[in-house]
Chains A and B, each alone.
Chain A
């Protein structure tokens, strides 16, 4: 289904256009816009990782920002409290985010639909509570600030936001390539089979639990990568990275852009980041406008922007 591009010929040119803009555009943009684009590519990784769950496996997670946030905390704690080096912090953040996904996966992988939604939401709240209350480690509400700059650690020139942007873009390209390979592989096709009809897949002899579990861990791993990038981008971590608002905004990015497309969630992330920042600069009623945008999308593109023109699934 993901590969059926024939009916929507505008897709390929648009992807090429957006990709070339992301690649060559930033040097011509102001520092502020490069900063926003950096946010778009980092949150794009995160939205794609959630798409693996929502779109491809049919598991609606409302706690996905948890892994993002935990990995960011990993980097924050290691690089400030323990003064660890770059690669130790990155590896530590990745390990703790992915490890947690592996642990939580054991709890959530046997449930589906709304039960999955509720349990992931609860686990997300637990992580938020931990970040808020485990003060000696996380600094509580105040978070952890003073994470050293990635440019300095990598020996890049720290002038302006361009170097960091290209680091983030490289990570983004790598992650999207890996995720595309994942969803096109036999494993990815099995996930889509589970999404469409799990009992049938089970009767065909697939271990659907294991597939769901592995997909959950993969999604957690990619979310951790986004979290690491986010921690270095902002230079601090705080409990708002992994609260319910963050998880539901992430959910919106995927559904607004179009689940089961990978490109869609990136567009959703871009649309939300840019709309929020641009509109709120002009009016205090920006939430109202954002709400209208969501409603219009639901009415005219119920399967997301990137699926515009696709017939409703029965």
Chain B
């Protein structure tokens, strides 16, 4: 009987329509952003700063892999603004008539870093990528180069330094750059090539050491975005995009290791 009562009460709660909790001040407009995983920490800070400037606009960000978002957006996923880890996906969306013509923009150029845990004995500061040849390195994490821009950059950097062939059979592939970071951060992989933006974020910085891969070692990771044709409030999405590419946004991106995009 008691159990029935509890179950009944639980069901009532599930199906009853509760009034939404009051938020102050109530944002009347909304921007739904699909963002590449390397933006995670920078964009969290960005949205907080943006809220201070524009309390009337609420920015809701979903992080994931750019390729995944591309397929979802090709099927009209309900986002207003797309921030990709490359420049190709937004361009393709525009070609397909899914993103607003002329709305594409470059917002950053990404760098990659070789990351190891604090308790690792690898001398990455002195040896750089050569440290990966150390016999103690059994597994090296990179993002899947087939579809992750940062994975392509990592692979290219290893090829440039002539160590790729000796590393290839020890590579483990992350589905996106955040998972790649998780592979090394958890200790399951001994070293990883991750986005500099993740390496400098507090969550990762305190747990390990990193060495920034020289920018000449790989083709530039130019990151771009676009506004979708079905954006419910294109003006609000534009306002957030302007903040991101403006001086306020630039200062945050600088701090997370994103360079200014190339022309």
Are both chains from one complex?
A: no
